[in-house]
Amino acid sequence: MTNAETSTDTPHIVICTTGGTITASTTPEGAVLAGDSDPATHAMLDGLRAVLPEEIRVSARTVLDADSSTFGPAEWDLLVDAVADVLSDPGVSGVVVTHGTDTLEETAIALDLHHDDPRPVAITGAQLPADHPEADGPANLLDAVLLAADPVSGGLGVLVVLGRAILQARGVRKWHTTDPVAFARNSPEHPVEDLPPELERPTLPARARFADTRVDVVACPPGADAVALLACVEAGARGLVLEGSGSGNLPPLVADAVARLADDRPDLVVVASTRVPRGEASSTYGGRGGGAELATRGVLSCGYLRSGQARVLLAALLSTADAANGAGGDNGDGGDGGDGAAAEVRRRWARYHLYS
Q: Catalytic residues, which ones?
A: 21
- Half-sphere exposure of 232 toward its Cβ, with a 13 Å CA cutoff? 22
Strand partners, 273: 243
Q: How many residues does the chain have?
A: 356
Pair 283, 295: CB distance under 8 Å: yes
Pair 345, 314: CB distance under 8 Å: yes
- From the CB of residue 214, how many other CB atoms can be counted at a distance below 10 Å? 16
Q: Which residues contact 58 (CB under 8 A, 6 or more apart)?
A: 4, 12, 13, 14, 15, 45, 48, 49, 52, 145
Amino acid at 159: L
- From the CB of residue 125, how many other CB atoms can be counted at a distance below 10 Å? 29
Pair 316, 210: CB distance under 8 Å: yes
* Rounded (10°) angle between helices 38-51 and 137-149: 60
- From the CB of residue 151, how many other CB atoms can be counted at a distance below 10 Å? 12
Pair 56, 149: CB distance under 8 Å: yes
Pair 241, 218: CB distance under 8 Å: yes
d(Cα 306, Cα 316) in Å, to the nearest integer? Answer: 15
d(Cα 53, Cα 209) in Å, to the nearest integer? Answer: 38
